[in-house]
Structure 1
Amino acid sequence: MQKVVLITGGSKGIGKATGQLLSENGFKVYGTSRNPDTISNHPFKLLPLDVTDPNSIARCIDLLKSETSRLDILINNAGAGITGPIEEIPEAEIKKNFETNFFGPVAMIKSVLPLMRENKSGLIINVTSIAGYMGLPFRGVYSASKGALELITEAISMEVKSFGIDVVNFAPGDVATDIAAGRYHSPLKESSAYKATYGKTLELMDTHVDSGKDPMFIANAIYNIITSKSRKVHYKAGEPLQKFSIVLKRLLPDRWYEKMLMNHYKL
C-alpha cells in the first residue's frame, strides 16, 4: 500500500526537497503552505495550513481525511528563525517563535495521533536543529524553542510506542535555505549595548546559512530515517564540526564550552 506523508512547511527548502524525493520514491506526499494558491508547478500537492492556528490545523486534517483514509508519516518541518539579544527581543516575538517552532508541531502531533492509532502504525519526524542542543548567543530563543521540541519528542516517543508509532527528532545544522531572509531580526540599534557583538554574530550566522548543506542532502537523511528498520530517537545531520559540538558539550566543563562558543562567534 502506498504510504501517505504530510510535510508541514512543504513549499520550499527542506520541506520541498524532502517531498520531491519521497514522491519520486513512491510515497503519496501532501505538503502544507500558508498560501498554496500562490505557488504553481509544485512537485506535490499543497494543503493550506498555519501551524499557529488551531482552526487551520483542524481544517487541514479534515481536508487530508477527505483525500485519503490514512496517514503514515508526519514530518513537522515548518519553523521560523529569530535572532537578537534576549534583552531587546520583544516578548510578543518570543511567543510568536514558540508558537511556530514548538506549540505548532505539538498541535500537529496531537491532531494526527488518532489517525495513526487507528492504523496501528505511524512515524512522526520533528525537524529541530543542532542549535537546539545548546544556547547560542543571539539565537537563544531559537535554541530554546527547538530544544523544547527535542525534549517533548522524547516523552511522546515513550507514550505512543505501544500503538506502533515511532516519534523521532531530526536535527540539521546549517542548511542553504532562505530562513535567514524570513526570520525575525531584532534591529541592530546604534544605541544598543550589544551593537558590536550582535553585529558580528549576525554576519557570521548569515555566512553559515549561505554555505550550509543543500536541502536535498537533508532530504536524503530524512528518507533514510523513514526507510530504516530500527529507528533511534535522535538524528543529526550537518558539518562534522557542528555535530561534534554536541559531543563536546557533554565532555567539557560548562565554562570551557562557553568559552569555545564565544571564541567561535568572536565575542
Structure 2
Amino acid sequence: MVRAISSLIGAAFVFVLAIALFGTVKTAVEEPAAESAEHVFHLGPREADLPSAGLAGKFDNRQVQRGFQVYKEVCAACHSLKYVHFRDLTKIGYAEAEVKAIANQWVIEQPSINPETGEAATRKNAPSDPFPSPFINEIAARAANNNALPPDLSLMTKARHDGPDYVYSLITGYQNQPARLLKEFPGAKTPAGLHYNPYFANLNIAMPPPLTADGQVTYADGTKATKDQMARDVAAFLTWTAEPNLEARHAAGLAALIFIGIFCFLAWGAYQNVWRDVKH
C-alpha cells in the first residue's frame, strides 16, 4: 500500500513538472524574448595571435617584458597585480639586479607600521613583495574611479573566455556608438561617465580608453609602440601572470601525447603477436 501511494505521488510530481516544462516551451516559442542591444551588438574577441597561443605555444620574453612596461606605465595606475611578486620577473628574463631596482623604484610603496610609534607608514618594495595595490582599499578605489572598482589583473586572462584575445580586443575596441544601435534601441545610449565598447558584455564600460595614442610608451628595445602593438604586448604579459607555467604545461601535454601514441602502437603490436596463430 505504501509503495503504491509513493508511486502515485511520484507520478503526480512528474506530471506537474511535465506541464510546467510544456508551458515554458510554449511561451518561449509563441512569445520569444525581445532582442537586446547587448545581444545584437556585442562582438566576440578578435585574435591577438600571441606566440603563447596553441598547443605548442611559448612566451616571447621580449614581448612579455614590453607588456610589463605597458602595465607599469599605464595600467598600474588603477589595476592591482596582487598575485604576482617582483621576483617573478626573473622568469621572463630580468636579472636579479634589475628586479631589485624595479621593486625599489616602484612608485607605490608597501604599507607598513612604524616600529617606534606604531603608526601606519610605508617602505620601499623588495623583490619578495607582491606588486602593491594603487589604492589603500576598495572605498578609495571606487572614489577615484566614478564608483567603479578596477579589477585585479593577475588572473584576468583565465577569468575571461578567450582571455588573451579578450584583453587585446577590449583595449583596442573603444569606439563611438553606431547609428544603427541608437536607431534600433533608442534607450541604449551610453550613459554619461561610461564608454562604448562592443567587446564588453553590456557594451558600456567605466574604464576610459587606456591606450590613447601611438608612442604612449617608449619601449626599451626600440619596438614601435603603436596602440595595436601595446595592446598585444600587455595581453601577452597578462597571459603570463595568469599562467606562468604555460610552457611547462604544454611540454608535459606534448610528452603525454607522444607516450600515449607509442603505448598504443606497442599494445597493437602485442595484440598481433599474441593472436597471430589464432584463426578467425
Q: Answer whether TM exceeds 0.5 for this pair.
A: no
With normalisation by structure 1, the TM-score equals 0.25
With normalisation by structure 2, the TM-score equals 0.24
The structure carrying a bigger strand percent of its residues is 1
- Structure with more contact order per residue of length (Cα contacts < 8 Å, sep ≥ 6): 2
Structure number with bigger Rg: 2
